[in-house]
Structure 1
Amino acid sequence: MKLMNIKTTLVIIAFLIFITTNFAQERITIVPHPKEIKLNEGELYLDEVVRVGFKNQKVSAVADLMAQDLYKLYQIRVKAKEGKADIFLDIDNSLAEEEFNIIVTKANVTVKGGSYNAVCMGVTSVLQLAKPKKAGLIFPLCEIKDKPTSEYRGVMLDVARQWHSIETVKQVVELCRWYKIRYLQIHLTDDQSFTFPSTTYPNLPTKGRHYSLDELKYLVDFATKRGVVIIPEFDAPGHTTAMRKAMPELFGPSNLGVVDMTKDEVYRAMETIMKEMMDVFYTSPYFHIGGDEAWLGEFQKKEATKAHVAKNDFDNAHDVYLDFLVKMHEVVKKHGKKTLVWESFSGEGSRKVKIPKDMIVFAWETAYQRPESLLKNGYTIINASWKPAYVTPGWRWTKEYIYNWNLHRWENHWNATPAYFNPIQLDKSTPILGGQLCSWEMSEEEQIASIHKRVSAISEVFWNGEGKKSYEDYNERAHIVDDLYTKLIFPVNVEREGFNEPEYEGIYFNRENEFSDKAKVKFKPILADTKLTYTTDGSMPTFSSPQLPKVLELDNNFSARIGVFNSKGLSIGYKVAKYEVNAIKSKIVGDTIPLRDINSKRNRVEFIDEVELELKNLKDQSEIRYTTDGSRPTMNSKRYQGNVLINSSMDLKASCFFDGVPYGKLYENKFVKKNYEKNITTAKKIVAVDRGTGSGINLDKAIDGFVDIDGYWDNSNEATSVIIDLDQETVISSIQLYTYWDGNRVYGYTVEASVNGKDWELIVDRTSNGEVATENGYIDEFTKTKAKFIRVNMLSNTANSSMHIVEVRAY
């Protein structure tokens, strides 16, 4: 009986713990998840009038900010004042700079941080922790201790390729603050525009695509109050076409590819501009000098370059480039900052020019140098892996993929990089300063919609490292917290009807806002006495712009910028809205080859035999017309009347026509029939031999059955021969060897056969080959020969020093 009582008691205790924990965890909707949470029984209720207090005047600005946010998010009237209050903020010097504690009791909420920035982050956690109840707020009674795993947590915004208004940049600042991203790097200069307003060189800023000094100073103040540090990037010597077009007499002609690094006046101008930038972005301890993708083809031809190389005892123009990086680094150090640079050099530089070890390197592509090599050479690195930490119009990855990534891993979608076939995973104890999500080439209308959920996911990687919760746990929190962020920048409830996939969360931009026939969007301002206005010409809405209808009745594409204004005419939020007609639903029937990575701007389907394309028309009284030659469909194009059989490569486009006029988005897909054959060599055992200690990259690609220019063995200047074990003795009389093909490259090689793996017979000799490599490969026939082993000896490549085998087939 006593045993039964003990068991019953334990079951009841366990059940109560389960209920309490799950109920409490439901309310801990903070992203990124705190390091330590102690949940206590009960909750704190604050009514509709909340007092936010502080002891240290240094946090008065964040108290005012919290008051604004509580009203915008929860419609709670807040008074910020010095002294004790319902929510009390303070700096605790015993805590680390980015450490903060939150204590919620039945009396109040206390936030203490090791710095102003830490208090800002604590306040963000409190805003996410709160839940509305009646006319007030409730908080679970708890104690939270939190601090980041990574010192550097960054987001990069490209405003040079695609112009962004200050209002959009402010929303990115808010995004960084909301997810505890410490640094916002702004890519201010590139080939397309120079956005910084230099006062020394007033002709340098690109007309219609640059900021004013007042705008940038305001932006820095805006970010500082939110605990976000803005890092300026002045990308040079490459990516400088806008500079050279504006001032060719100083920086060189527009076709030079880089600024003219032979001229002393260029270095003086660079320092002047850099100092101007540093004065504006004074809060940043860092300055980014760019340094990537400096194409020296034209520069190295110049007589002035050749003279500069000789004068400085350099080996070549590349040394001039490396020396430029060193000089820019010296300028940064001279003004008390730390240098950031893109991975853009190999080893430690060159024989003549060494890259200083105190430059912090963004390891992004792995093409110039692998991250482990950078570390071995003594550099501090930040992980900005192309995949999945880049967001571009075409290449982007889901928030789940990003969440499951880690800061010691590098991947890439580009097959010319080491991280493409074999992702680089370093030991979790390897010192990495942090990571950065980079948003490149994005239009202003795409920007927030494309990055806000991805920044949410990557913030967990930066903040918690290997201590992340499960993706399912994160996703439950993320939906709630992200909804609060959208209300922070656009305090309006939006209700939608008639959309094709309203809950879509994938790689395709704006798919959740596509409809097939008619749709409705209702806008309900959250705050009293607010007005919604809009523009459709790309300009920012003002208080006096046309008033937005309460309900948008949509039967065609609609794009607008929508502004939210209070009764005083002040802007309190805005968004870019884009609703699109898509009246075609597609489905591929048949076996396809899964794509490793998908470019959302270049649809592609790969198959081996044949597939069918099924199209469904979602618009009444309309028809679908299509083409298979890549041309745009017209009413004269073939009418869709059933599944389209596809048994060859083609570019297929389809359009819905209503009353003889194209209606909605164009469907387009590139269908690629792959050259696949299950040969006697396919998937057999293969080894690389002869030279070096490695076997090169992707050895299995040489016998995977596919002739794919993106899938090949690269010997990486290591082994020069491969041996294929056919499993059993086989009679062969022909070898078809596919090498990499492009341009006019020619490969020299021989092929040998053996029945025992020791005694070899020469069966193909292309030592003096003169035939250009093509997609059809090299075909050689010979007398029937018994073979259990086939050895391919790669001897030469007229394009470069590496050897490449796409596929080996024997008959």
Structure 2
Amino acid sequence: MTYNTFLNLFKQFMLLFTIIIVSVSCDRSTEKKPFSGDITILPSPKEISETSSQVFLLAQSEMYSSNADVKPLLEIFQEEIHDLTGVNLEISEEKNKNTDVLFEIDTKLAKEEYHVNIHKIIEITGGSYQALAMARTTLLQLATTQDGLLGFPMLTIKDYPDASYRGLMIDLARGWHPMASIKKFIKMASFYKSNYVHLHFTDYQSYTLPSYKYSKLSTPERSYSFEELEELEAYSQARGVTIIPEIDIPGHSSPLVEKYPEIFAIKDVKENPWIINMGNEETYEAIEVLISELMTVFKASPYFHIGGDEAIFYKVTDDPTVKAYMKKHQLGDDVHELYRHFIVRLNEIVKKHDKQMCVWEGFRREGNIEIPKDIIVFEFETNRYLPNHLVEDGYTVVNTSWKPLYVVNQKKWEPKTIYNWNMWRWENWFAKAPSIVPIQLKETPLVIGAQMCSWEQQDKLEIPSLRKRLPALNERIWNTTKKVSYDAFMKYLKVTDKQLSVLINDSRQDSLLLGYNFKKEKN
């Protein structure tokens, strides 16, 4: 081989080598670095395999999903990552060499199961849109920045909840809450992987819902329009949260009685203006209209809540219409049989709209008319039907134990008390309640989850009082067997709470938190 031939071959080799190097470097849009920080994810994931490295996305990195339905979630994640880190992560219309974050639905996974694989790139798979929405909050909690670059620890996660129902209830009827605040509650619920936000729309104080046919029901300056509710439904669904609407009947119903007495009032309305007339056919027709109107908005919810608690039956059976109705339906003269009949009829109305009916604990175990087992009972004070009896009798139950899951101004409990509770336990602070001595059930699939309930609070109190209590509940129902110690949980919460402050633009805290546990009312 001559020298010139060798030189030409060498030049060709170097050119090829340069092309390969440039090509490889152009495909590389992530960078690996050492990692020695803490992993702070709430609720704690079921399975996690960590490494001592982290991956950083470079300026050209993009995210992508082959499923067009996932695009709204990518846009939300893009906005949230920017809020948290200041980094702009672009969305790609097609998969390419810069696609470093992938969100994909894998129907082989369970509906609420998701997997996170972070190595050279970030791959997120979930059994549904909702699962991907929960995976995104895990990514938000993992996100770091260094020199203006967005980074994530290299790890693998397989995660899913133990409880299928993880709820937050907000009382919108007693204290006015603007739509902007409700969106904050949904953001917070989504961030900590609650899948339901239950909105208590009606009570004695106001009727906050719109109606086309019964427009007088809407309380002036304290009600929402159909357009606002439709926007809220879309907002919550995009974040993997389902809204459960509630119209509280037959009790807690004075706005209905006041505005349409010809339909809803009993004869002695001045002595009992709080209950609707369960013996008037027009009452059932009107309720069906109200439910139908709402179902055009809250299409995603599998549930509709009718309240059903604390009905005041005084003078009900003195009404001539009620007497005739009870005679026609062979209900005898016990008002509780009329009430049970009412629940059965409402269940049929709700089922006509392909929803499952939910009720607060309100009906008794004893009674001639059988309450159907296809309803869900939200058991809270244990005064009428004990939770162990509900389970023995085959009812599906959501645990809404007064203690420690209620947040009612100063009636609330610290995160440690909530963390030491479990999904099959009911307690109460009221001395005459059966659960003043805690009622502990054995584990049963009939208890499908739990819900934190905020009652009677002004809007300004909601975020401070819920932001460190809701995560404690969700940790204990996502993982019904404790995954981490309380001290570790609080360490993680300190980190995630700072992130929440940024995401909802609200850093207000509760002055009654650590060490505060309500005991009893002062005389």
Report if the CA contact (8 A) 1:257-1:299 is conserved: no
Q: TM-score, normalised by structure 2?
A: 0.88
Partner of 1:86, secondary structure, is strand
Structure 1 counterpart of 2:122: 109
Report if the CA contact (8 A) 1:87-1:109 is conserved: yes
Q: TM-score, normalised by structure 1?
A: 0.58
Partner of 2:388, secondary structure, is helix
Q: 1:50 to 1:475 in 2, by over 3 A?
A: farther
Question: Hey, what's the Cα distance between the residues in 1 that align with 2:39 and 2:512?
Answer: 25
Question: Hey, what's the Cα distance between the residues in 1 that align with 2:421 and 2:511?
Answer: 24
1:411 corresponds to 2:419: no
Q: 1:273 to 1:110 in 2, by over 3 A?
A: same
1:321 corresponds to 2:343: no
Q: 1:66 to 1:276 in 2, by over 3 A?
A: same
Deviations 1:725-758 (A, max 9, x none): xxxxxxxxxxxxxxxxxxxxxxxxxxxxxxxxxx
The equivalent position to 1:158 in structure 2, one of 165, 171, 185, is: 171
Report if the CA contact (8 A) 1:408-1:430 is conserved: no
Deviations 1:146-166 (A, max 9, x none): 000001111111101111100
Structure 2 counterpart of 1:727: none
Structure 2 counterpart of 1:579: none
The equivalent position to 1:598 in structure 2, one of 511, 519, 523, is: 519
Report if the CA contact (8 A) 2:350-2:356 is conserved: yes
Report if the CA contact (8 A) 2:359-2:377 is conserved: yes
Structure 1 counterpart of 2:100: 86
Report if the CA contact (8 A) 2:280-2:322 is conserved: no
Aligned sequence identity (%): 37
Q: Superposition pairs for residues 594-743 of structure 1, below 5 Å?
A: 597-598=518-519
Structure 1 counterpart of 2:458: 443
1:172 corresponds to 2:185: yes
Deviation at 1:502, TM superposition (A): 9.9
Deviation at 1:432, TM superposition (A): 1.3
Question: Hey, what's the Cα distance between the residues in 1 that align with 2:363 and 2:446?
Answer: 20
Q: 1:185 to 1:371 in 2, by over 3 A?
A: same
The equivalent position to 1:426 in structure 2, one of 441, 447, 456, is: 441
Question: Hey, what's the Cα distance between the residues in 1 that align with 2:256 and 2:321?
Answer: 20
1:295 corresponds to 2:291: no
The equivalent position to 1:235 in structure 2, one of 229, 248, 264, is: 248
Structure 2 counterpart of 1:198: 211
Q: 1:424 to 1:283 in 2, by over 3 A?
A: same
Report if the CA contact (8 A) 1:50-1:76 is conserved: no
Report if the CA contact (8 A) 1:195-1:209 is conserved: yes
- The structure with the largest strand share of the pair is 1
The equivalent position to 1:217 in structure 2, one of 213, 227, 230, is: 230
Structure 2 counterpart of 1:544: none
Structure 1 counterpart of 2:78: 67
Report if the CA contact (8 A) 2:394-2:446 is conserved: no
Deviation at 1:301, TM superposition (A): 3.0
Deviation at 1:175, TM superposition (A): 0.8
1:505 corresponds to 2:513: yes
Q: Which runs of 5+ in 2 are unaligned?
A: 1-34
Deviations 1:16-51 (A, max 9, x none): xxxxxxx76x52111101000011231112246642
The runs of at least 4 consecutive aligned structure 1 residues that moved more than 6 Å come to 501-504
Structure 2 counterpart of 1:96: 110
Partner of 1:233, secondary structure, is strand
Question: Hey, what's the Cα distance between the residues in 2 that align with 1:434 and 1:166?
Answer: 27
- The structure with the largest helix share of the pair is 2
What amino acid is the match of 1:440?
A: W
The size of the alignment, in residue pairs, is 481
Deviations 1:139-188 (A, max 9, x none): 21100000000011111111011111000000000011001000011001
Deviations 1:117-142 (A, max 9, x none): 10111111001011222212222110
Partner of 1:361, secondary structure, is strand
Structure 1 counterpart of 2:361: 343
Report if the CA contact (8 A) 2:465-2:510 is conserved: no
Q: 1:479 to 1:408 in 2, by over 3 A?
A: same
The equivalent position to 1:284 in structure 2, one of 285, 289, 301, is: 301
Question: Hey, what's the Cα distance between the residues in 2 that align with 1:123 and 1:256?
Answer: 48
Question: Hey, what's the Cα distance between the residues in 1 that align with 2:392 and 2:513?
Answer: 40
Deviation at 1:430, TM superposition (A): 5.6
Kindly name which structure, 1 or 2, has the bigger radius of gyration based on alpha carbons. Answer: 1
Deviation at 1:224, TM superposition (A): 0.6
Q: Which runs of 5+ in 1 are unaligned?
A: 1-22, 495-500, 509-595, 605-669, 671-811
Report if the CA contact (8 A) 1:52-1:88 is conserved: yes
Deviation at 1:388, TM superposition (A): 0.5
1:463 corresponds to 2:462: no
Structure 2 counterpart of 1:305: 322
Partner of 1:143, secondary structure, is strand
Question: Hey, what's the Cα distance between the residues in 2 that align with 1:341 and 1:225?
Answer: 27
Deviations 1:267-305 (A, max 9, x none): 000000011111110110111111000110121333333
Higher RCO (CA 8 Å, separation ≥ 6 residues): 2
